[in-house]
Amino acid sequence: MSLPASPIVAFIGGGNMATSLVGGLLASGFTPDQLRVAEPDAGKAQALRERFGIVVAASGAEIAAGASALVLAVKPQQMIAALAGLAPDAGALALSIAAGVRIDTLRSALPAGVHVVRSMPNTPSLYGAGITGLYAPAGTPEATRALADRILAAAGQTCWVEKESDLDAVTAVSGSGPAYFFLLTEAIREAGVALGLSPEVSAQLAARTLVGAAKMVDAGSTDVAELRAQVTSKGGTTFAALQSLEKAGLRPIFTEALRAAADRSRELGDEFAAASRPSIN
Ligand SMILES: NC(=O)C1=CN([C@@H]2O[C@H](COP(=O)(O)OP(=O)(O)OC[C@H]3O[C@@H](n4cnc5c(N)ncnc54)[C@H](OP(=O)(O)O)[C@@H]3O)[C@@H](O)[C@H]2O)C=CC1
Ligand SMILES: O=C(O)[C@@H]1CCC=N1
């Protein structure tokens, strides 16, 4: 199967993540007539029409047929209901961005012949600065993988993992990852206030330091450990702070925190799988 020259992409769900992907696809060369969204909330639907000039229907059943790809962009707990009644073309891609919902669960709610690919994007996708982990089962056509990659590359970088269970770790590292940096910035802001700075000044210093450090990492030429070493003068202030953080066990604290996130991702997968099975009685 080769990719159509102008694939039609239908989004099931028109919320935060779908909006960022639609914007990214249009910026990357897709035309409005190639994109469709199913969104039941009338206000969100109208906002999408006005902002992007695309077709927005109330339900996925109205837009699935004829699409090369369906992007499944509803909340995990809404997914099975959202897939009911869809009639995608045989050979179409069903690209899920939902946390925790496994491929077997998605397949159970979709017609046979649809190629399911799973991904875990993150909220910087809203600004084209995302990183998305993707997984496709063995036997997925190369053209299908290429279409999935092209869709998510519109919101930032992509990387492919070897096993579906790796997506639990991807969710822990990068799916939930922005929140770790936001929490760290909150803690630095509060520590600045404890040192006597006004909340406004401390907030500005902490936020701009986060942005500046991110830009240095984004420059891409130097490893983060080397960037840290460049700030750490011998016996200086940075060394004093880092020694305190290492002594407090910062690294094992993060190892434990990310394991908790990955465990929760796996639990969600189990819960959604159980919920999708027809009840015995
Ligand atoms: N936001 C994040 O940080 C990240 C989110 N994700 C994943 O992306 C997915 C979407 O997240 P996000 O965009 O934040 O969620 P949103 O709630 O912003 O968007 C989902 C949209 O789908 C709508 N919807 C609900 N049921 C249906 C249906 N049957 N058919 C069509 N649309 C429907 C919802 O409407 P209504 O509100 O009326 O229910 C809502 O507008 C989730 O599965 C999440 O796990 C992945 C990585 C990061
Ligand atoms: O917290 C969550 O479950 C979702 C998935 C990754 C980011 N937010």
Query: 28 lies in which domain range?
Result: 9-164
74 and 191, same domain (yes or no): no
Strand order in the sheet with 93-96: 55-57, 35-38, 9-12, 69-72, 93-96, 115-120, 130-135, 156-160
User: Confidence band (pLDDT; 50, 70, 90) for 276?
Assistant: confident
Q: What is the pLDDT of residue 274?
A: 83
ipTM confidence:
0.95
Q: Are 136 and 192 in the same domain?
A: no
Question: Is residue 265 domain-resident?
Answer: no
Residues 18, 145 share a domain: yes
Residues 47 and 124 in one domain: yes
Residue-wise pLDDT for 150-170, tens only, equals 999 988 999 999 999 999 999
Q: What distance in angstroms lies between residue 13's CA and the mean position of ligand 1's atoms?
A: 6
- Phi/psi of residue 128, each to 5°? 70, 15
Locate the ligand 1 atom nearest the alpha carbon of residue 178 and give its number. Answer: 3
Question: For residue 197, what is the domain's CATH number?
Answer: 1.10.3730.10
What does the alpha-carbon distance between residue 116 and residue 132 come to, in Å, rounded to a whole number?
16
* 186 and 130 co-located in one domain: no
- Residues 26, 126, single domain; the answer is yes
At a CB cut-off of 8 Å and minimum separation 6, what does 140 contact?
115, 117
Residue 16 lies in a domain: yes
Q: Could you tell me the distance, in angstroms and rounded to a whole number, from the CA of residue 132 to the centre of ligand 1?
A: 16
Same domain for 123 and 221, yes or no, is no
Tell me the pTM: 0.90
Cα gap 69→91, rounded to integer Å: 9
Residue 246 has pLDDT above 80, yes or no: yes
Quick check: is 200 in a domain?
yes
Whether residue 278 is contained in a domain is answered as: no
What is the Å distance from ligand 1's center to 268 Cα? 16
- Does a structural domain hold residue 277? no
Confidence of residue 273 (pLDDT cuts 50, 70, 90): confident
pLDDT band at 55 (very low <50, low <70, confident <90, very high): very high
Kindly report which listed range (25-29, 197-201, 250-254) carries the lowest average pLDDT score: 25-29
171 lines ligand 2 (CB under 6 A): yes
pLDDT of residue 4: 75
Neighbours of 109 (CB within 10 A): 18
For the chain, the average pLDDT equals 94
State both tokens at 162.
Answer: 């070897």
Same domain (yes/no): 152, 18: yes
Same domain, 203 and 121: no
Q: Give the binding-site residues of ligand 1, using a 6 Å CB cut-off.
A: 12-18, 38-41, 44, 60, 73-76, 78, 81-82, 97-99, 120-123, 175
Distance CA 108, CA 172 (A): 26
